[in-house]
Chains A and B, each alone.
Chain A
Amino acid sequence: MSTDTPSFLDRYPEDAAIVRQAFLVSFVALGLGALFGIVQALHRTNILRIIQSADYYTALTAHGVLLVIVFTIFFLVGVYHWAITRSLERTPANRTFTKAWLGLMSLGSGIAGVTILLGFVPQIDISADVLFTFYAPLQAHPLFYAGLTVFIIGTWLAGADWFRTYLQWRRDNSGERIPLQAFMVLTTMVMWYIATIGVAVSVLFFLLPWSLGLIDSVNPLLTRTLFWFFGHPVVYFWLLPAYLLWYTVMPKIAGGRLFSDPLARVVFVLFVLLSTPVGIHHQYVDPGIAEGFKFIAMTNTMFLLLPSFLTAFTVVASIEHGARQRGGTGLLGWLRALPWRDPAFTGMALAGLMFAAGGFSGMINAGMNINYLVHNTLWVPGHFHLTVGTAVALTFMAGTYWLWPQLTNREIYSRPIALGQVVLWFGGMALMSNAMHVSGLFGIPRRTAEPQYTGFEFETAFGSVGELNIQLALGGTLLFISTLLFLGNLALSLDMPKTSGMGQTLPPALSGPTDSPRVLDNLKLWTAIALVLVVLAYVLPLGAIIADGGLLGSGGDAYPALVAHGLAVLPEAAGEAVARLLGVIP
Chain B
Amino acid sequence: MHIHRYEKLWFGLSLLLIVGFVATVTFGAVGAGIKMVDDSGGTVDVDKIAGGNYEDANFAEPGVRQVDSGEYEAYVVARRFAFQPDPIVVPENSTVTFYVTSPDVVHGFEVVGTNANTMAIPGQVAEITVEVGEPREYGIVCHEYCGSGHHDMEGLLRVVPQDEFDGGSQ
Chain A interfacial positions (CB closer than 8 Å to B): 53-54, 56-57, 60, 129, 131, 135, 137-138, 217, 219-221, 224, 259-260, 262-263, 283-291, 294-295, 298-299, 302-303, 305-306, 309-310, 313-314, 317, 363, 366-370, 372-373, 375-377, 442-443, 445-451, 453-459, 511, 515-517, 544, 548-549, 553-557, 559-560
Q: How far is the CB of A367 from chain B (nearest CB, A)?
A: 5
CA distance A309 to B123 in the complex (A): 41
A53 adjacent to B138 (CB under 8 Å): no
User: B60 interface residue, CB < 8 Å from A?
Assistant: no
Seed contacts A302-B18, A306-B15, A453-B139; 18 additional CB < 8 Å A-B pairs: A57-B150, A219-B123, A220-B122, A287-B121, A288-B43, A298-B22, A306-B14, A367-B24, A368-B36, A372-B34, A375-B143, A442-B113, A445-B141, A446-B143, A450-B152, A453-B141, A556-B46, A556-B104
Q: Which of B117, B138, B142 contacts A285 (CB 8 A)?
A: B117
Q: Do A291 and B36 contact each other (CB < 8 Å), given the known contacts A262-B1, A302-B18?
A: yes
Tell me whether B156 and A291 are in contact (CB under 8 A).
no
Residues of A within 8 A of B34 (CB): 369, 372
Q: Which A residues lie within 8 Å of B6 (CB)?
A: 313, 317
- Contact sample, A vs B, 19 pairs, CB 8 Å cutoff: A53-B148, A56-B151, A135-B106, A138-B145, A217-B46, A285-B37, A287-B100, A287-B127, A290-B39, A302-B22, A302-B25, A305-B14, A317-B7, A368-B28, A443-B114, A451-B151, A455-B156, A553-B123, A554-B46
Residue of B nearest to A53 (CB): B151
Instruction: Specify which of B47, B108, B120, B151 is in contact with A554 (CB 8 Å cutoff).
Output: B47
Most chain B CB inside 10 Å of its own CB: which residue of A60, A137, A369, A455: A369
Shortest Cβ distance from B27 into A: residue: A369
Residue of B42, B113, B114, B151 with most partner-chain A CB within 10 A: B151
User: Residue on A with the closest CB to B37?
Assistant: A285
Q: A57-B150, A287-B41, A553-B123 are in contact. Are A370 and B28 (CB under 8 A)?
A: yes
In chain B, positions 113-170 with a C-beta closer than 8 Å to chain A are 113-127, 137-139, 141-152, 154-156
Task: Please tell me if the beta carbons of B141 and A54 are within 8 angstroms of each other in the complex.
Answer: no
Q: Is there contact, CB below 8 Å, between A549 and B24?
A: no
The complex places the Cα of A560 from the Cα of B105 at a distance, in Å, of 10
Residues of B within 8 A of A559 (CB): 80, 104-105, 147
A224 and B106 form a contact (CB under 8 A): yes
> What's the Cα separation between A30 and B45 when bound, in Å?
43
A221 to chain B, nearest CB (A): 5
The B87-127 residues at the A interface (CB cut-off 8 A) are 100, 103-106, 108, 110, 112-127
Q: Are B117 and A287 in contact (CB under 8 A)?
A: no
Are B122 and A556 in contact, CB atoms less than 8 angstroms apart? yes
Complexed CA–CA distance, A53 and B156 (Å): 23
A575 to chain B, nearest CB (A): 27
CB-based contact A287/B39 at 8 Å:
yes
Q: A375 to chain B: which residues have CB within 8 Å?
A: 110, 117, 143
Q: Which residues of B contact A367 (CB under 8 A)?
A: 21, 24-25, 28
Interface centre among B41, B100, B124, B146 (most CB of A within 10 A): B124
Q: How far is the CA of A443 from the CA of B123 in the complex (A)?
A: 26
Do residues B37 and A287 form an inter-chain contact, with CB atoms below 8 A? Answer: yes
Judged by a CB distance under 8 angstroms, whether B67 is at the interface is no
Question: How far is A451 from B139 in the complex, measured between Cα atoms in Å?
Answer: 12
Is the Cβ of B121 less than 8 Å from the Cβ of A443?
A: no
Among the listed A448, A449, A455, which residue makes an inter-chain contact with B143, where contact means beta carbons less than 8 Å apart? A448
The answer on a CB contact under 8 Å between A456 and B137 is: yes
Tell me whether B105 and A137 are in contact (CB under 8 A).
yes
Given contacts A57-B148, A286-B121, contact A310 B112 (CB under 8 A): no
- Contact, CB under 8 Å: B29 / A369: yes
Q: A376 touching B14 by the CB < 8 A rule? A: no
Given the known interface contacts A305-B18, A556-B50, the answer about A220 and B29 at a Cβ–Cβ threshold of 8 Å is no
Contacts of A285 in B (CB 8 A): 36-37, 117-119, 126
Closest chain-A Cβ to B101's Cβ sits at a distance in Å of 8
CB neighbours (8 Å) of B38 from chain A are 287, 289-291, 294
| Known contacts A453-B154, A459-B113: A306-B18 contact under CB 8 Å | yes
Bound-complex Cα distance A446 to B146 (A): 12
5 nearest interchain CB pairs? A456-B139, A445-B143, A556-B46, A287-B126, A54-B148
Per the bound structure, the CA–CA distance linking A284 and B108 in Å amounts to 13
Most A CB contacts (10 A, CB to CB) among B43, B113, B145, B156 go to B145
Taking the closest CB of chain B, its distance from the CB of A552, in whole angstroms, is 11
CB contacts (< 8 Å) of B15 on chain A: these are 306
Asked whether B28 lies within 8 Å of A369 as measured between CB atoms, the reply is yes
- Are B105's CB and A303's CB within 8 A? no
User: C-beta contact mask, B42-54 vs A, less than 8 Å → 1, else 0?
Assistant: 1111110010000
- Contact: A263 with B144, CB < 8 Å? no
Residues in A neighbouring B1, C-beta threshold 8 A: 262, 515-517
Q: Which of A220, A290, A450, A456 contacts B151 (CB 8 A)?
A: A450
List chain B residues, Cβ under 8 A from A131.
145
Chain B residues, CB < 8 A from A544: 39
Instruction: Determine the chain A residues whose CB is within 8 A of the CB of B137 once the complex forms.
Output: 456
Residues of A within 8 A of B29 (CB): 291, 295, 368-369
**Are A263 and B121 in contact, CB atoms less than 8 angstroms apart?**
no
Q: What residues of A have a CB within 8 angstroms of the CB of B152 in the complex?
A: 450
When distances are taken between beta carbons in the complex, the residues of chain B under 8 Å from A283 are: 119
Residue of A nearest to B115 (CB): A372
Contact B119 A448, beta carbon cutoff 8 Å? no
Instruction: Contact check, B47 vs A555: say whether CB atoms are below 8 A apart.
Output: yes
- A363 to B17 Cα, complex, angstroms: 11
